[in-house]
């Protein structure tokens, strides 16, 4: 699914595309206690990562190169949510709901 299609389908899930030099995020319109995550790995290597808040690691997962993984988690809607790439290592990505689609690092 292309990024432009995901942007027009903002619903109740975070859609995260991991690329070699950037990450694209499409956030839900508003966050509920059960949050969906769709993670697409567009890199050449398998991705190992976790979803966490400041107080808790919710899940560890692996997405093979060129594949997509989706899952739902119960997370307090007042907590900040992070996707943290572990292997290959990468920067912590805050997943912000109610925000338009965004990239990390920002597109120039």
The ranges assigned to domains in the chain are: 3-104
pTM: 0.83
CATH of 3-104, one of 2.60.40.420, 3.40.50.200, 3.30.565.10, 3.40.50.620: 2.60.40.420
8-44 core/surface letters (b: 16 or more CB in 10 A; e: else):
eebeebbbbbbeeeebbbbbbeebeeebebbbbbbbe
The pLDDT tens digits for 76-104 are: 878 889 999 999 998 899 998 877 889 99
The pLDDT tens digits for 17-50 are: 999 999 999 998 887 888 899 999 999 999 999 9
The pairing of strands 81-87 and 47-52 is antiparallel
**Residue 48, pLDDT score:** 97
Mean pLDDT of 39-62: 94
H or E element in which residue 93 lies: strand 93-95
């Amino acid at each position: 699914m292309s990024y432009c299609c995901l942007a027009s389908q903002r619903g109740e899930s975070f859609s995260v595309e991991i690329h070699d030099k950037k990450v694209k995020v499409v956030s839900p319109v508003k966050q509920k206690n059960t949050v969906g995550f769709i993670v697409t790995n567009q890199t050449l290597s398998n991705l190992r990562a976790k979803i966490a808040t400041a107080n808790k690691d919710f899940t560890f997962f692996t997405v093979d190169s060129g594949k997509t993984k989706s899952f739902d988690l119960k997370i307090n809607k007042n907590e900040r949510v992070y996707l943290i790439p572990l292997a290959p290592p990468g920067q912590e990505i805050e997943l912000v709901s109610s925000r338009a689609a965004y990239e990390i690092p920002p597109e120039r």
